[in-house]
Structure 1
Amino acid sequence: MKKITKGLLILGFLFLLSACQEQSVKINLAEVTRSLFYAPQYVALEQGFFEEEGLEVELQTTWGGDTTMTALLSGGADIALVGSETSIYVYAQDSRDYAVNFAQLTQTDGTFLVAKEEYPKFTWDDMKGKEFLGQRVGGMPQMVGEFVLKKHDIDPHTDLILDQSVDFANIPSAFQSGNYEFVQLFEPTASVFEQEGQGHIIASFGEESGKVPYTVFMTKESYLEDNQENVEKFTRAIYRAQKWVAENDASTIAEVIAPYFEDTDLDILTSSIERYKSQGSFAEDPFLDEEEWENLKTIMDEAGELPIDAPYDDLVDTNVAEEVMNE
């Protein structure tokens, strides 16, 4: 009798375990690049916030806005973390199932101006006539870079020797080996260059450009309609991570997300995260407000890259964020 009872208990446990596993929903998430800028996302993964929502999130790095959006629109990814400007480009193509922004992760530009030489008393005029290795045409880093330069009365196409021919992934190595005097870099690359004496961080494009929905979680309109509950669970996990990042210091955050940056020293991770925290780059909630959206369109328009006056109400869905934040 005892053996039968024990067997039934084991079978019951296996049944419950199987049921729990069946309830777990898989979400394929594509990130545009691997960056410390996305620290809250890695916190959500490492701290088990997605798992606690019953989600199995599989992360893939798709390296570039175009490839990330292709993955999303083709069904290779359910959700994409990418610059919100990409959703405007898709919308302008009169797509029937366009990408909708539903949760904001970063709220400033994440790049820094790095110079080969030291500039103890740097002014933006120091860049005039110099070789500047820019980012790809139509991408947020380049558009924000141009916006900031114009703000300081510098025309990037006439006052600088501007090179935009290098692929995103190859920009750091091109700067190292080339004759460029300035470059626009994300962390931790900027700090690594500084530590190794290969460059000097002299300005922040994030501080200069103001708040903008720089990196946002988006999904196809059809996916959002058919999977509202799962998108809410995803956003709830991200919101928990955002609050966790806001409440913890840079060194604690660095220790948690270190597995995603195995080739970077912990002290560099810490200083880079602190730099982003100090300038308010990490959004503290997933809500993308209309003022930020309009700032994005202004930046794109000044760069000559705004293809259409993309309406906030069409491309931004705040219902999920508001639902999660009001719980």
Structure 2
Amino acid sequence: MKRKFLSAILLLIVLSSITACSNKKETKETKSTAVKGLEQTDFNLGYMNSTGHLLAFVAKEEGFFKEEGLNVTLTQFSSAAELSTGLESGKLDASFIGSVPTLTLQSQGHDLTIFGGAMSNGHGYVIKSEFTEGKTDWDITILKGRNVASVKNSVQDAELLILLKDAGLEVGKGDDKVNVVYFDSQKDAYAALQSQEIDAASVYSPYSSLAKGAGYEVVYYCNEVEQFKNQPCCRQVATTAALEGKPNTYNAFERALIKAYKFSQENQDGTIKDIKKYIDIEEEYIEYEVYGGHGESNPDPDKQAMIDLKKEIVDFGYATDYDIEKLYNTDIYKNALESLITESPDDATYKELQEHFNDVE
């Protein structure tokens, strides 16, 4: 009897071992199959010195890229021109590039396609406090007679020129005009404020919080201007050929960014810590930039907002007209989001993203 009992125990152990091995093999094969579906696993992403590019930082630090089978290398650049060159040379697989430079590059014949969002709003202009003394309120006319640092071919510059025109102010030197001085990068434009020659400057995150911390006054934030609300800033951009040839890889990349967005909505402290590893400023400044209500980092392609922006800058003469439909891919985001909802059908964040996408596309 005792021998039969021991035999039964041994049989159960053997069967459990076989089942466990089978499960491990199945899990390993399932994961392996997912990775095999990717056209490539090493992925290079270019970004700029902005807290608004947090989706990449969070996806990297929280392991979302790794979950999707991607080994992503993040590299910081200083201008849209450098980012686009990186894409076209094959050194970068994707870049976070400003909306206006992306549109102007496309209008010039560059075969670059927008396939997702990175940031909306979050930029504006600041002025030295000496010019606001004795004032409790001001508008764009406070720049009259001032030297303003800006970045050519940027959404900040396009907005400034539009607002100046609407206010009846000419660009040029003189007490009744606004002298716009151009710099190659936002970093250079902001640094120019330290000189006596520059009175005001364009800013995007994190320079707006840095400027406030240094005692400068905000002329305006774009989200506070009615015509610029929900203004697309940085977009996810890649070459058209890469997107067409590696759909699974970009789908995995997008899934990771959507997961990062969800994390940023649910874990503020963790998001701030992730950002600080890439944008080394005080955490209170990061919190202001990300959660202060002036900008939003969202992976949605926001196609209609970009179409509206394109029409605006074309009408203004900032870019020549072209067919944007050929250079806009919303399928990658749509498919990535749908696959995540299939996995987590009750997730409130994913549902909100889907509702927004359905409303604006």
State TM-score, norm by structure 1: 0.82
Alpha-carbon distance change, 326 to 152 in structure 1, aligned in 2, over 3 angstroms = farther
**Map of 2:235 onto structure 1:** 216
Q: Does residue 313 of the first structure (1) align with residue 330 of the second (2)?
A: no
Give the conservation status (yes or no) of the 8 Å contact 1:293–1:312: no
The correspondence of residues 23-172 of structure 1 with structure 2, limited to 5 A, is: 25-31=41-47, 33-95=48-110, 98-108=111-121, 110-117=122-129, 118=132, 119-136=135-152, 138-157=153-172, 159-165=177-183, 167-172=185-190
Map Cα deviations across residues 2-49 of structure 1 (whole Å, 9 max, x no partner).
xxxxxxx9xx99xx7xx79x8680101112x21012122211111111
How far residue 227 of structure 1 moved from its aligned partner, in angstroms, is: 0.6
Q: Does residue 189 of the first structure (1) align with residue 207 of the second (2)?
A: yes
How far residue 60 of structure 1 moved from its aligned partner, in angstroms, is: 0.9
Give the conservation status (yes or no) of the 8 Å contact 1:131–1:179: yes
Give the conservation status (yes or no) of the 8 Å contact 1:288–1:316: no
Give the conservation status (yes or no) of the 8 Å contact 2:182–2:189: no
Map Cα deviations across residues 73-111 of structure 1 (whole Å, 9 max, x no partner).
11111111102334443433445xx11111111122x32
Give the conservation status (yes or no) of the 8 Å contact 2:139–2:219: no
How far residue 237 of structure 1 moved from its aligned partner, in angstroms, is: 0.8
1:261 alignment partner, SS class: coil
Matched to 2:83, the amino acid is: T
**Map of 1:203 onto structure 2:** 220
Alpha-carbon distance change, 287 to 173 in structure 1, aligned in 2, over 3 angstroms = closer
Structure 1 gaps of 5+ residues are 1-8
Aligned residues: 302
Alpha-carbon distance change, 247 to 157 in structure 1, aligned in 2, over 3 angstroms = farther
Q: Does residue 235 of the first structure (1) align with residue 254 of the second (2)?
A: yes
Alpha-carbon distance change, 70 to 184 in structure 1, aligned in 2, over 3 angstroms = same
Alpha-carbon distance change, 122 to 311 in structure 1, aligned in 2, over 3 angstroms = same
**Map of 2:314 onto structure 1:** 301
Q: Does residue 322 of the first structure (1) align with residue 334 of the second (2)?
A: yes
**Map of 1:274 onto structure 2:** 291
**Map of 1:178 onto structure 2:** 196
Cα RMSD, aligned residues only: 2.8
1:160 alignment partner, SS class: strand
2:163 alignment partner, SS class: helix
Identity %: 19
Matched to 2:326, the amino acid is: D
Greater Rg over alpha carbons, structure: 2
State TM-score, norm by structure 2: 0.75
Map Cα deviations across residues 280-326 of structure 1 (whole Å, 9 max, x no partner).
5322x423222x1222213322542212x232321111111111222
How far residue 168 of structure 1 moved from its aligned partner, in angstroms, is: 3.5
Alpha-carbon distance change, 224 to 93 in structure 1, aligned in 2, over 3 angstroms = same
Map Cα deviations across residues 192-223 of structure 1 (whole Å, 9 max, x no partner).
232233x1224202432122332111111111
Give the conservation status (yes or no) of the 8 Å contact 1:147–1:302: no
**Map of 2:275 onto structure 1:** 257
Partner Cα separation in structure 2 for residue 203 and residue 91 of structure 1: 29
Partner Cα separation in structure 2 for residue 271 and residue 94 of structure 1: 38
Alpha-carbon distance change, 266 to 175 in structure 1, aligned in 2, over 3 angstroms = same
**Map of 1:288 onto structure 2:** 302
Give the conservation status (yes or no) of the 8 Å contact 1:147–1:299: no
Alpha-carbon distance change, 168 to 265 in structure 1, aligned in 2, over 3 angstroms = closer
**Map of 1:4 onto structure 2:** none
1:129 alignment partner, SS class: coil
Alpha-carbon distance change, 151 to 255 in structure 1, aligned in 2, over 3 angstroms = farther
Give the conservation status (yes or no) of the 8 Å contact 1:211–1:295: no
Give the conservation status (yes or no) of the 8 Å contact 1:131–1:181: yes
Structure 2 gaps of 5+ residues are 1-20, 340-361
